[in-house]
Amino acid sequence: MAAVATANGLPVLSSQAYLEGKTVWETRTLVADLCRQFYTLGWVSGTGGSITIKVHDDSIPKSDQLIVMSPSGVQKERMIPEDMYVLSSGGDMLSTPCAKPYPHKSPKCSDCASLFMKAYQMRNAGAVIHSHGMESCLVTMINPFSKEFRITHMEMIKGIQGHGYFDELVVPIIENTAYERELTESLSDAISAYPKATAVLVRNHGIYVWGDSWISAKTQAECYHYLFDAAIKLHQLGIDWKIPSHGLIKNESYQSGSKRKFNVYANSGLAVQASVPSRKFIVLDIEGTTTPISFVTEILFPYARDNVRKHLTSTYDSLETKDDIKLLRAQVLDDLEKGIAGSTPIPPDDTGKEEVIESLVVNVEAMIKADRKITALKQLQGHIWRTGYENNELQGVVFDDVPEALERWHASGIKIYIYSSGSREAQRLIFGNTAHGDLRKYLCGFFDTTVGNKREARSYFEISQSVGVDKTSQILFITDVYQEAVAAKAAGLEVILSIRPGNASLPENHEFKTITSFAEI
């Protein structure tokens, strides 16, 4: 094999030697192998569907790596490595396959090329899969007006990047067009509008799935197809896959093969559909709303402060703690530039474990004392608290009226979410370990400061986009903080202020409705 040309020690990606080299050839082979497997799954039958993978090379930044793409209009299960197209990171064609004799068509790069490039450019993907799997097509037809697919409390959701069992998975749906390339703009818009999504459904067509690598993309594609199939089968059984309990669909259910109507009552000889409340979603703050402030200030914060050194010491070499330290380093650097009181430089790792931990403890203690609402602190606290719950040293606390209200709202079909400055893990721990049992079964999802500052209106716009309301006014937000209420109202949400023992006083003439118990809602 010819030597690879180099410049400054790096491969020249457009050189013939590199294009014919081992890494590119292995990627070509991988695409062909995967297409054969996807054919058996029904994802790329009838020459439909496609796959593209970046040529992984440790010496080349991911954003600059070459792209291998399958051809269009060919029998995907019969492809060979020589059939593949090789593109630059910017989409320029570097290598094309040779034509084959009749009955083969002239070679043509995938019609999905422009859509694949959007996932590479906007998500820094390592691979993209386009499937025509039947499940991905049918699931978009259950509700022909829906712009999103939603599902929660299914084990396979854990296979989707950034999601857990208790989260609500949301996949945007775009409308199909006559030609694949005409989907490029709407797919790009969907990627921008759903920053957490790793897939986009195309109605009556299929799905595009991307991941950091081909393994991530393949794993997620398999999970998506499983979840779509589950939703279709649950729908046939009259079960609502969109709610945590997976109870009967409100308007209809299928029993013994026949459709039976629910919520329909006789009135003067006429069938009248029960009214549906306009409020469909409730978003709850935690501290001072579902949970006494004293639990946070007198139990959780001191526990994190008293155990930060022990936690960092015992978990210092774990990937999770390394990520925590990375976030704290970035935050402290920013704090030092801004002159934040209590900030202390964190020495580099090669200084020694003890010195690094000592500086981290000083910074974390200062952050806790100042009650700072920053992701770096909240993430570390969540990991410390998790240990406390696992050791039965902590138990989540909620007001006595909260469990009954959650159960009542949930039974009425209202979707309930949490939005707190604490990390999502910390939120789950509180509601999963209460004296009333695990309350997470009533919750559809959790939002933390990664969605935005709680005192900024755009954060609530982002939440409304994530939960998929037709109007932001369909969301009720309950909080004890006046500034959060103002921000949510500016985003169009309905807002109620919570008055609980120990809460700070509210401004006079604030004009918001107030409650002292969830029983009032």
3-state secondary structure 507-520: CCCCCCEEECCHHH
Contact between residue 25 and residue 16 where contact means Cβ atoms under 8 Å apart: no
Q: And the tokens for 111?
A: 């019609």
Q: And the tokens for 408?
A: 């009542």
Q: Which of 155, 175, 298, 393 is catalytic?
A: 155
Q: And the tokens for 443?
A: 């919750």
CB atoms within 10 A of CB 469: 17
Q: Which long-range contacts (CB under 8 A, 24 or more apart) does 250-254 make?
A: 250/413
Return the H-helix or E-strand segment holding 488. helix 482-490
> What distance in Å separates the CA atoms of residue 353 and residue 344, rounded to the nearest whole number?
16
Cα dihedral 382, 387, 393, 394 sign:
positive
Residue numbering of the annotated binding site for Mg(2+): 285, 287, 480
Q: Please state the φ and ψ torsions of residue 170, each to the nearest 5 degrees.
A: -120, 125
Residue numbering of the annotated binding site for substrate: 112, 420-421, 454
Is 252 noted as a catalytic residue in this protein?
Answer: no
Strand order in the sheet with 127-131: 93-95, 85-87, 67-69, 50-54, 127-131, 206-211, 199-202, 168-174, 148-152
Contact between residue 321 and residue 383 where contact means Cβ atoms under 8 Å apart: yes
Q: And the tokens for 197?
A: 């999504």
Contact between residue 2 and residue 23 where contact means Cβ atoms under 8 Å apart: no
> What distance in Å separates the CA atoms of residue 193 and residue 70, rounded to the nearest whole number?
28
Q: Please state the φ and ψ torsions of residue 30, each to the nearest 5 degrees.
A: -65, -45
> What distance in Å separates the CA atoms of residue 359 and residue 328, rounded to the nearest whole number?
11
CA angle at residue 480 from 500 to 476, to 5 degrees?
A: 115
> What distance in Å separates the CA atoms of residue 85 and residue 98, rounded to the nearest whole number?
10
Q: And the tokens for 493?
A: 């949400």
> What distance in Å separates the CA atoms of residue 54 and residue 397, rounded to the nearest whole number?
48
Distances (CA, A) of 287 to 148, 300, 394, 501, 503: 31, 11, 16, 11, 9
Q: State how beta strands 50-54 and 445-447 pair.
A: unpaired
> What distance in Å separates the CA atoms of residue 93 and residue 86, rounded to the nearest whole number?
6
Just list the catalytic residues.
Answer: 155
